[in-house]
């Protein structure tokens, strides 16, 4: 049961981290798409710049997904014991 409790805590922690990342990076995505702001030198498009920032959110989302899968494994392991 301790393993499942820790897995739940980890999922909660990563979910909070994802929520924070969305709050932090959403304005940067909007800014990247703003046609009134010049693109950084060497940047091919606004979409590529926004996608680069979105990747930071995706990293957190991947951690949430991995935590969910681990929690699911713990639940089924509990069933066996």
Share of the chain above pLDDT 90, in %: 94
CA gap 39, 61 in Å, rounded? 27
Whether 81 shows a pLDDT value over 80: the answer reads no
CA gap 57, 13 in Å, rounded? 15
Residue 76 CA, chain-centre distance (Å), reads 25
The per-residue pLDDT for 80 is 83
Q: Where are the domains of the chain?
A: 2-80
The model carries a pTM of 0.86
The per-residue pLDDT for 61 is 97
The per-residue pLDDT for 1 is 78
The per-residue pLDDT for 60 is 97
């Amino acid at each position: 049961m301790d393993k499942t409790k820790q897995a739940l805590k980890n999922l909660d922690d990563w979910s909070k981290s994802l929520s924070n990342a969305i709050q932090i990076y959403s304005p940067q995505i909007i800014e990247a798409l703003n046609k009134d702001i010049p693109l950084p030198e060497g940047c091919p498009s606004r979409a590529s710049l926004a996608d680069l920032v979105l990747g930071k959110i995706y990293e957190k989302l991947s951690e949430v997904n991995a935590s969910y899968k681990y929690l699911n494994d713990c639940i089924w392991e509990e069933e066996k014991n």
